Structures are given as structure tokens and as C-alpha cells.
Chains A and B, each alone.
Chain A
């Protein structure tokens, strides 16, 4: 029971990170109908920027932790958003209106490019960061010595995810940008006839998705304490699985799918085998797509002739 609870907490934390990345996938898929294959790399870049900012702040003597974290988040979000914008501008916009495979190929190319760019500029070795936030709340203290604990870091991750999700939902449902985005999702041509700047809206979608991924990257860095240039691929595929599981195009679905994937992966590693945890996630992707292609909260796709 204690073990189960502990795994549940770990799973929710992991799921929050996946959920934040998944939003980027689901928004881009919703609006231009392509898998942004480079999104996992955006996440990786976000965590590298956060790490560098942390070290830079430490070098100039800023050690007050809340301030450091705040600066890390802001700088990582801004710089990663710039990357997201650039990628869309360079690799996807010229191919809009081309056949469907074309942007997928540039996305894969971009992903290879970014991985190697980071590998060359920042080095191929794993970057360790000692844990910055230690301790936590002890929820249950069994006399057998089994402790259920939720660490401060986990609380921060979950709280931050909730805040970001709430803000983001407001942005989509209440603001004019959100309305434009939903309009573009439904019918790009009609939206542009009605005066919505489609290019700008799509760019902003990438910017928002990238900044959420940057937050996820920073939290991944603080939570696991190790990053390398290759973390983006696996995290990206899993977040995509989460987006598909929740129903691609649906924002609450992305969060729900993220939580589900996080929990499944944690429980699988906790109870079965750590080696095959990726297989579990990938199998779920295949099973969901085959038996439930519209996901948990998605709308079924109608095939028109």
C-alpha cells in the first residue's frame, strides 16, 4: 500500500512533465495537422538553457533559490520560445500547403539538427546537477520503516503544472488569441477570410508550446538532476503518446494522457521491469491508436470523400 502510494506520487510528477510537453504536440497537431517531431528537442533545449542560466547565476553569486528558479523559468521560456518560433519559420512555414509528408521530413531533419547542435556546442557527456531542493513532506510513516514522502520538488512540479494549465486554459477559452487559435483549428481558410492572421496565430502556437516545453525541461532537470542531448527523443515520443491517448487536439486530453502515461510507466517500472518501461509506453501508443484512434477525449475523425 505504501509502495503503491509512493509510486502514485512519482507517477503524477512524471505525468505532469509529460503533460506539459504533450500540450505542444496537441496544439500544433490541432492547428496545422502535423506531428512536430522536433518538439522533444525543444524540451531538451529548454532544459539545457535552464542549466546554463543556473550556472551563470551561480557564477555571479546569485544564490537566493526562489529568485534563481524564477530567472531560470523566465529565461528558459523566452529563449526556448525563440527556438520554437524559428523552427516554425524556417522548417514548416515554407512547406505549408505542400503534401503531408514534407513537413514531417523537415521536422525529423530539424530534430536531428538540434540534437547534434546541442551535442557539439554543449558536449556529449551527461550533465549532472546536484539536487537543489531537498526534503519534503512525510505523508505516512510506517513502523516497518517504509516511508511515503512527497518531496518539495514534486510539490513544486505538480503545483506549477496546475498553475500553467489553468492559465493556459484561460488563454485558450477567454482571450482573443485563444479564439483565433480555435478558429484556425476549425478552418484555416475561413479564419483568414474573416481577418485572422493565420501565420501569426500558428507562430504563437509554436511559441506557447515551446515555452511550456521549456518549463517541463527545467523541471526535468531539477527533478532528475541529469540531462544530456538525447533526452528529447524518448520524452518526445512519450509525450506524443500522451497526446494521442488523451485525444489529439484536445488540451485537457493532453494533460490526462500525460498523467496516464506517467502513471503507467512508473507502475510498470515499480512492479514489472525497468528495462521494458519504454516498451510499455510504446505498446500503449500502438494499442490506443489501433483500437481507439480518437483517444480518450478527442473527437472522432470523419473521413469525407
Chain B
């Protein structure tokens, strides 16, 4: 007697979804039948693969490594550098051979042990512990730096400010992309609106940072609604490309509307923030004067650091609270299935617009912080590449994960910045070698590699905000994140 057995949510055994994930992993891209056993030995096969790879590299790079075009006296000249080309081919051959012979041919996947570890720790509140530690480090960072690394204090503090700016932007974009599932490639537009509204208000009406900050956020939110309204009907990739177009339109307008925005010259002399009217400079009425401590330029950096930390934490706090409110749940519902959302009576127009507006507002805050930190802005700072970096941080961190954004920002921005210090490589590659040239190259490559390695991002499991009966971990694989519905 066949018994129909409907699997209910409670009927799934422990680890079932992990099992199905593994099965899917195994089947991906492969035909569902066994291939004929390879006749070549492992060595021959590895050599063959290495040969193919080397040949491919030879074809790909012949016009980039072996021959180069240079500007010469009468136009262009060609310089040949076959040594470099051959070196790269050799590297490709050896690298592929080692991979094929030692790694790919191995029957036991080396990641097995790691999976066990992550499975064992699945029940622990790892995220909360890491989050608390990170928060503690972030709060005390300026003092830690001045105690332990006084020589590089200023540089590291500046880097931390930069990373925190990206953390904040990432958290802001996470509302739009991670929670509401609206793929936005033009987020930098709101960053620009925030920066320009603060800069214009400050230089034209002589207003201070703290007055302009909420106004900049408000303007950006308004733009979020204005740009969000026409794209309500679009989904997925189409939404992405239209938001990209909007971002570019705003940049081109900023570039060409010279008598309002200053055009390519940008806006100079944006005021620095003050602490209740106390400025961070020498002389009477300044911060150091008021508190009777010796002046040091680092004080302003510490102040800026705490401003951006507070703004970022505000973003995080608001997001976490919003997720518990009806509107936040509507965002997540919208991400999972727009049609279901609509049939349950959720007003998708309002839900989408609030997501755009909230995300844009935090972008605007971050923008005005950027303007006040730099003291100078120009359209150069708001290119598409910025949007791509912010989106990369959100996606690589794991969509919808707040902790993931922090980790991704530190890895991507901080890791790239580390290149500056790798001057030791000049000994290997010659004196003309400048590691900072390779920043964006490595950034792009890292985006590809991290995505291929972990398509769900670095932090890929998260608990749902709305709980029915018992709290359960859901594999990120089971939610249709970022489908852009």
C-alpha cells in the first residue's frame, strides 16, 4: 500500500537541506549520466590540460605581453617583449599542471573537513559573538592605534574611516538589494546627491555639517523616490541596467551643469564638522583650547572616525529595527516573491519606494560625510565603479547579512590598501614595479574568484526575521535572494 507522504516543514530530518545542496552541487553543469572512464593516465592528462591552458594563455596575451603599443615621436610605436610573454606562458603551464595533477584529480575533495566544521558550529551564535567583538574593536580603535601603532596612526585611522564609509554604504545598499531584492547598480547617484547637497548648501548658505546632514539625507531620499518611481515595474537585470543609467545621467549632469555644480572642477572649501561649535584646529575656540589639551591634527581624524562609526551604527540599527517592523517584513516578502506579496494585499509600490528611499537616505548621509571628510568633491568620485564596488561588497558579504558587509569591506577595501605596503615586491619585479597600479586589477579578479568560490557570499546563512513556531536556520540556498522581483 503506497503511502503518500507530504513533507511538511517539521518532517525534514536534520541536515536534509545540506544534503540536497550537496546533490545539487554535484549535478551542476554535469550531464546526469556517468562519463566514460578516462583512458589516459593522470600524468598524461595533466600534461595535456596544462598544454591547452598554456596555448590559450599564449593566444590571449600575445598582444598584451609580447607586443605593446607606445606613444612615440611620430605617432605610435611597437615594442616587443617576448620574454615576459614566455614567462607567463610557462607560469600558466606549470600552474595548471600542478592543479590538474595534485588538486583536481584528487578524489577526496579537500573542503570536506571545512564543511564538517561549519556543520558543527551551526547551532552557535557565532555571528553575534563576532559582531560584538568587532563592535568593541571599532569603538576602541583610535586608542588601540595610538597605543600600539603610533607611527602609522594617522594612515591607519584614515583607512578605517574609508572602510567604515564603505561599510555604511554597503549597509545602506543592503536594504535595497539584500532585503527588498531590488538590484540597484546606480547607488552612487544617491551618494553623489548627498555629497553635492551638503557641499552646495554649505558653500552657498554657509550652513554647518550637522544642519546639512539631515537635509542631505532627505534630498537623497527624495531622489530615491523620484528615481524609484519610474522603475517600479522593472525586475532583475533590467532594473539593474536602468539604475545604472540613472547613476550615469546624474554624473553627466553634475559634470556639465558647470554654473551650478562647478562642473569638472567640483566644489572646493567644504567646511569640516564641528563638535557643538568647537572646531578642530589651532587657536582660540577650538576643541583643544576648550578642553585645555595640546593640539594635535589627529584629533580631527578621531572625531571623523567616530562620526562615521556613529552613522554606520545608526544605519545598522535602523535596518535591524526595520526588519522587525511590518515594512521590513514586507521587504523580505517582496524579495522572495512579488506575486505572492501582491496577492496577500501588500502594496508593492509603497514597499519598493520605502526601500529605495531608506537606502538612498543612508547613501546621502554617507555622501555628505564623504564631502566633509574630503573638503572637495567632483564628479570624478561618483563613477560607476563606486556603485560596482558597493554592490560587490554587499553581494560578496552575503546578501542581507549585516556582518557579511563588514567582513567584505575589510577584505576588499583594506586588503587592496595593503598593496601599498608591498614595496618588497620591487625586489622581485624590478624597480619600476608599482603595486598600487594593480589595485583595481586585483579587485576585479577577487570579485570573480570569491563569487565562483562562494556564490552565496562569505556569510551565507542567516535566520529569518519572521518566525513561525520554532526558530530554524534556513540555508541561503533555499531563498531566492536577489531575484529582483
Report A's interface with B, CB cutoff 8 A: 33-35, 48-49, 51-53, 55-56, 58-59, 78-79, 82-83, 86, 90-91, 93-102, 104-106, 108-118, 120-123, 125, 127-130, 192, 199, 233, 237, 240-241, 244, 275-276, 278-279, 282-283, 285-286, 289-290, 293, 303, 305
Contact = CB atoms under 8 A, between A and B. Distances in A.
Nearest to B31: A192
B111 interface: no
Interface residues of B, number: 68
Dominant secondary structure of chain B at its interface with chain A: helix
A91 B452 contact: yes
Given A106-B451, A276-B256, A303 B237 contact: no
Contact of B385 (A86, A110, A112): A112
Contact of A112 (B63, B234, B440, B455): B440
30 contacts: A51-B76, A55-B69, A79-B59, A79-B63, A94-B452, A98-B455, A105-B396, A106-B452, A109-B443, A109-B446, A112-B440, A112-B443, A112-B447, A113-B441, A113-B445, A116-B438, A120-B437, A123-B68, A125-B71, A127-B76, A237-B241, A237-B245, A244-B238, A275-B255, A275-B256, A276-B256, A285-B242, A289-B241, A293-B234, A305-B339
Contacts of B207: none
B371 interface: no
Contact of B399 (A90, A101, A303): A101
Contact of A293 (B233, B438, B455): B233
B388 interface: yes
Contact of B441 (A33, A116, A290): A116
Interface string B47-84: 00000000010011011110111110001111000000
B475 interface: no
B448 to A, nearest CB: 4
Contact of B78 (A56, A82, A93, A290): A56
Dominant secondary structure of chain A at its interface with chain B: helix
A289 B238 contact: yes
B69 A293 contact: no
B236 interface: yes
A108 B391 contact: yes
A120 to B, nearest CB: 6
B452 A95 contact: yes
Given A82-B59, A109-B448, A276-B252, 14 more contacts: A53-B63, A55-B67, A58-B78, A79-B63, A90-B452, A102-B395, A104-B183, A105-B392, A109-B451, A113-B447, A275-B255, A285-B242, A286-B230, A290-B230
A33 B484 CA distance: 14
B2 to A, nearest CB: 28
A282 B227 CA distance: 14
Given A90-B448, A283-B249, A120 B75 contact: no
Contacts, number: 196
A189 to B, nearest CB: 10
Contact of B29 (A33, A96, A113, A283): A96
Contacts of A121: 64-65, 68
Interface in B434-477: 437-438, 440-441, 443-448, 451-452, 455-456
Nearest to A234: B248
Nearest to B58: A82
Nearest to B236: A100
Nearest to A58: B78
B452 A101 contact: no
B170 interface: no
B456 to A, nearest CB: 8
A287 B116 CA distance: 51
A102 B455 contact: yes
B480 A99 contact: yes
Contacts of B242: 285-286, 289-290
A130 B75 contact: yes
B277 to A, nearest CB: 42
Given A35-B237, A127-B71, A240-B241, A100 B385 contact: no
B244 interface: yes
B240 interface: yes
A286 B246 contact: yes
Nearest to B263: A275
B384 interface: yes
A79 to B, nearest CB: 6
Nearest to A52: B63
A279 B68 contact: no
Contact of A52 (B78, B183, B482): B78
Given A279-B253, A285-B241, A289-B234, A110 B60 contact: no
B452 A105 contact: no
B231 interface: yes
B128 interface: no
A49 B231 CA distance: 39
A19 B56 CA distance: 29
Interface string B281-294: 00000000000000
B483 interface: yes
B28 interface: yes
B481 interface: yes
A120 B444 CA distance: 14
Nearest to B395: A105
Contacts of B399: 101
A233 B447 CA distance: 18
Contacts of B234: 289-290, 293
B64 A117 contact: yes
Nearest to A125: B71
A289 B59 CA distance: 39
A113 B448 contact: yes
Nearest to B441: A116
Interface string B236-269: 1110111011101100110110000000000000
Contacts of A49: 63
B444 A110 contact: yes
Contacts of A240: 241
